Amino acid sequence: MKVLIVTQYFWPENFRINDLALALREKGHQVTVLTGVPNYPIGRFFPGYGMFRQVRQSFCGLRIIRVPMLPRGNSRGWQLALNYLSFALSASLLGPLHCRGDYDVIFVAQYSPVTVGIPAAFLKKLKGTPIMFWVQDLWPESLSASGAVKSQLMVRIIGRLVRSIYDSCDQILVQSKDFFSHLEGMGVDSDRVHYFPNWAEALYRPVDAEENLLEVSSLPAGFRVMFAGNIGAAQDFGTILLAAELLKEYPDIQWLILGDGRMFSWVEEEIKKRGLVGSVHLLGRHPIESMPSFFAHADAMLVTLRNEPIFSLTIPGKVQSYLACGRPIIAALDGEGRRVIDEAGAGITCPPENPEALAGAVLTCYRMAKSDRERMGLRGRAYYEAHFERQRLLDRLETWMDELSGSKSIARRS
């Protein structure tokens, strides 16, 4: 098959769509990626890139086409709006010029924003190519829940845009089973929706702790609670910091935060204000390849979300990575993500936005025997292999793509 992937984010940015594209290429498919200029999460173009630099690239057999766009900047609301709209406009205008020829399937990776579906819908009208749309983030609800959009009028306008984009899609994939009701509310027929959860890249696996690795050699000693991923509003770092304050009397409990995001500077300042410099450590961004080694040095992995109904529908992508590495999990969230961890027996869960409950969960894990924590990790790994195993999911995706491209051929003959 000839597959056109439309995504605002792609290598060298770190998103799971990178792994999906490479997997399709390894299966023998011709893959073209229409994407933007890498700038996530730092807010400025990566070194070597610019508006009109590196427009065409090749990466491990993938053909990459980049269109100009405005960077995220400091991730203020107006900056993100310009970032989203500039990619949608640029990809709609330039995509047809750069992505000539025929494709069997257009695959859209919708993390955020949903506007990534606009150029895909435009290309479908020009080429008649069916669209497979992978929903990772529910708009407009997630915008209002995170505080990015406060105007109810704007929420309604965006809601109409979402409906229009969904209507243009032939198949819609959802990363959580709880997304089905949302799509039904948007008027999407259930026979067009498939459950397609996230997985972890093959490199995520249990590894032995290697103290000689440069990245982990300077980690503080003690009981290590590690958060890995985006440092944003949805992740509720206020609760994490309050829980750390409640556990100040336990100086050997260390909170390690791997990653970057729009709330990084705020978290950095709050750590100083609250006198948490000795217990909460911002480790910054590191290559994805080093993540399993970092995880191996953690006593527990942490996942948190704000207490918003929309967030209870999702499974944070880090959950699969934690499970794949066989690490025990402390989770302050509700809904589908909490259900997965509880069902797996992979950790300790508590309600979101409850610092006392989170502190209690950390303390419970801290007081457990190491062997009990390790058993949690093993159960998590077993659950991952049964429900989120990479190759099984990718084989399922390939089958759906074959069916979709076949329906296109039948439509053409008729």
Q: How confident is the model over 148-176, as pLDDT tens digits?
A: 677 788 888 989 999 999 999 999 999 99
Please, are residues 272 and 387 in contact by the beta-carbon 8 Å criterion?
A: no
Q: How many CB atoms lie within 10 A of CB 54?
A: 14
Please state, in angstroms and rounded to a whole number, the distance separating the CA atoms of residues 74 and 263. 10
CA 130 from centroid of its chain's CA atoms? 24
- Mean pLDDT, the chain, integer: 93
Q: How many CB atoms lie within 10 A of CB 413?
A: 6
Please state, in angstroms and rounded to a whole number, the distance separating the CA atoms of residues 365 and 184. 40
CATH class of the region 2-199+389-413: alpha beta
Please, are residues 346 and 380 in contact by the beta-carbon 8 Å criterion?
A: yes
Is residue 182 predicted with pLDDT exceeding 70? yes
Please state, in angstroms and rounded to a whole number, the distance separating the CA atoms of residues 113 and 122. 17
Please, are residues 58 and 64 in contact by the beta-carbon 8 Å criterion?
A: yes
Prior bond of 140 cis (ω within 30°): yes
What pLDDT score does 375 carry? 98
CA 66 from centroid of its chain's CA atoms? 21
**Could you read off the pLDDT of 32-53 as tens digits, one per residue?**
999 999 999 889 999 999 998 8
Confidence grade of residue 64 (pLDDT, cut at 50, 70, 90): very high
- Domain spanning 223-387: which superfamily? Glycogen Phosphorylase B; (3.40.50.2000)
Which residues are 347's β-sheet partners? 329
List the domain boundaries for the chain. 2-199+389-413, 223-387
Give rounded-to-5 percent helix, strand, coil for the chain: 45, 15, 40
Is residue 75 predicted with pLDDT exceeding 90? no
CA 328 from centroid of its chain's CA atoms? 20
Confidence grade of residue 413 (pLDDT, cut at 50, 70, 90): very low
- Please give the radius of gyration of the chain, using alpha carbons only, rounded to the nearest integer: 21
What pLDDT score does 108 carry? 98
Which residues are 65's β-sheet partners? 34, 56
Work out the average pLDDT over 15-24.
96
Please state, in angstroms and rounded to a whole number, the distance separating the CA atoms of residues 71 and 94. 18
Is residue 409 predicted with pLDDT exceeding 60? no
Please, are residues 183 and 141 in contact by the beta-carbon 8 Å criterion?
A: no
